[in-house]
């Protein structure tokens, strides 16, 4: 067994964030995980949301549009500071 499922999920989300450009939502990450990391199975939206909150606290990503009702929150990577 290679690492915990949680650890593999966090790593898969980090990979997504490294290649992400522009805006994205949890559904975009979920679609990518199902396609590229099928070994993780059908990942719960809540698990992805928890991982994204941690990345937001670390200033890796930011919320552009908060989710409300059936409308998903939209995120983007924080631009790297130059200088």
How does pLDDT run across 26-70, given as a tens digit for each residue?
999 999 999 999 999 889 999 999 999 999 999 999 999 999 999
Q: Report the 10 Å Cβ neighbour count for 53.
A: 12
State yes or no: pLDDT of 3 exceeds 80: no
pLDDT at 1: 37
Task: Report in angstroms the alpha-carbon separations of 66 from 23, 25, 80.
Answer: 12, 10, 22
13-37 burial by CB neighbour count: b if 16+ within 10 A, else e?
beebbeebeeebbbebbbebbeeeb
pLDDT at 5: 80
pLDDT (mean) for 75-79: 92
Confidence of residue 4 (pLDDT cuts 50, 70, 90): confident
pLDDT at 6: 84
């Amino acid at each position: 067994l290679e690492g915990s499922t949680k650890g593999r999920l966090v790593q898969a989300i980090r990979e997504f964030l490294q290649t992400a450009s522009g805006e994205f939502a949890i559904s975009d990450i979920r679609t990518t995980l199902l396609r590229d990391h099928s070994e993780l199975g059908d990942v719960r939206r809540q698990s992805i949301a928890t991982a994204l909150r941690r990345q937001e606290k670390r200033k890796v990503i930011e919320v552009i549009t908060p989710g409300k009702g059936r409308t998903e929150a939209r995120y983007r990577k924080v631009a790297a500071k130059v200088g």
